[in-house]
Amino acid sequence: MNFIKKENTIRCSIENIIDKQIPKNAVILFGILNWGLGHASRSLPLIKLLQQKGHNVHVVSDGLPIEWLKKEIPDVVFHKMNPSFFVYPTSYMWLNVMMMFPRFVKFVLDNKKYAELLAHSTGANVLISDNRFGFRCSDIALNIYITHQISIHHKHSFLQKILSKAHQYFIKKYDFCWVPDSRDNPLAGKLSSSSGIKNIFYLGNLSRLSAENTSLKKYDILILLSGPEPQRSYFEENILRTINHFNDKNICLVRGTTKPLLFDSDAIKTIIHLADTPTLQKVIEESELIICRSGYSTIMDLDQFDKKVIFVPTPGQTEQEYLAFYHSSKNVNYFIIKQNEIFKNLPYLINKLL
């Protein structure tokens, strides 16, 4: 199946699901988790499609997603919530979970309360939550949850089972669960398996990008930074300190933030702080090698292109570790480096691939 046919098939599938499940001319509250830009970027094509079908969409989020989405879809009404609670201060997921649990409970309760107030004040009859836990309202007609991670991956099976059951408990509280993946050829691997849950519908790849098969190469290396702080900044510092060895290469850095750049590198020829969709598509197409996190939205985007990729999973995010391993084992152009191995192994791998 060629790319255009594949893209049209996915769009048709999404449209069929929307038409069957969402009433006409709906007022929709679309809640998006602030965890870097991944949830916002994959929600963007869905929001645009809902608008095209005549629905009145209100976006609910906080922080960087709102800042970025206001530039992409300025005609949408935005509602700003309290900041999301997710941080990864350590590289141990179980410790992060324990440290964040009290804040997680408060986050869920705050989201439910705000969703109910906002639904009544806006007259919303549909609520969609992209991983924004607790963002639902039992008084309205339809609640939909979006996630690619029905099952949580962890190296310790007991913790994996507990986390998966907890997430599936949230999923079952919604009328439908939309999965931005394919059932037959999943980009998320076993993470998006339905696990016996009956209200799941697969949307296919929700990337906002599409390959145009350009042969123009401008950059040797494209560095894509993303994800929650403080790990995004740690990644940036490690990369910039290491990349100084490559002054002879044309390197582009997409920072994924509007915060000031704290570390400089003479090797970086182009710096883009917050890339809009056309800019991101252009720099990916013009690059030979990409260094990035292995977040699911990034993987959906890169699946549109035929590029060499070095994944650096976020420490403590076992999902990213799994996805990096899963895709590098299937694609000969995909490679993995741990964040604490950047100084040692990244220069060698760059020289090998370029």
Euclidean distance between CA atoms 198 and 155, whole angstroms: 27
CATH number of this structure's domain 3-202: 3.40.50
3-state secondary structure of 349: helix
Q: Please write the tens of the pLDDT for every residue from 62-87.
A: 999 999 999 999 999 999 987 765 55
Kind and range of the H or E run holding 339: none
3-state secondary structure of 335: strand
Q: Please write the tens of the pLDDT for every residue from 206-224.
A: 999 988 766 689 999 999 9
> Measured between alpha carbons, how far is residue 43 from residues 30, 177, 303, 313 in Å?
9, 14, 17, 22
Quick one: average pLDDT of 286-304? 96
Q: In terms of pLDDT, which residue wins out, 9 or 164?
A: 164
> Measured between alpha carbons, how far is residue 6 from residues 12, 13, 204, 252 in Å?
10, 11, 10, 30
Q: What is the DSSP string of 172-228?
A: TTSSEEEESS-SSS-TTGGGG--TT-TTEEE-----S----------EEEEEE--SS
Cα 169 to chain centroid distance, Å, stands at: 22
Is the full-model pTM beyond 0.85?
A: yes
For residue 171, give both structure tokens.
Answer: 């999923």
Quick one: average pLDDT of 180-191? 93
Quick one: average pLDDT of 195-202? 86
Calculate the average pLDDT of the chain.
89
CA angle 73, 277, 304 (to 5 degrees): 130
Answer yes or no: same fold for 3-202 and 219-353.
yes
**According to the model, what pLDDT value does residue 152 have?**
82
Euclidean distance between CA atoms 41 and 88, whole angstroms: 21
Quick one: average pLDDT of 241-257? 93
**According to the model, what pLDDT value does residue 215 have?**
65
Find out whether 115 and 15 touch, Cβ atoms under 8 Å: no
Q: Which CATH class is domain 219-353?
A: alpha beta
At position 278, the amino acid (one-letter code) is P
Euclidean distance between CA atoms 135 and 39, whole angstroms: 14
Confidence band of 95 (pLDDT split at 50, 70, 90): low
| Statement: residue 118 has pLDDT above 70 | yes
The pairing of strands 200-202 and 219-224 is unpaired
Is residue 89 reached through a cis peptide bond, with omega within 30 degrees of 0 on the bond before it?
no
At position 134, the amino acid (one-letter code) is G
The residue ranges of every structural domain in the chain are 3-202, 219-353
- Alpha helices by DSSP H, listed for the chain, are 3-21, 38-52, 64-72, 93-122, 157-171, 231-243, 277-285, 296-302, 318-328, 342-353
Tracing tokens 């804040």 back to the chain, one arrives at: 103
φ, ψ for residue 145 (rounded to 5)? -115, 135
Q: Please write the tens of the pLDDT for every residue from 307-350.
A: 999 999 998 888 999 999 999 999 999 999 999 999 999 999 99
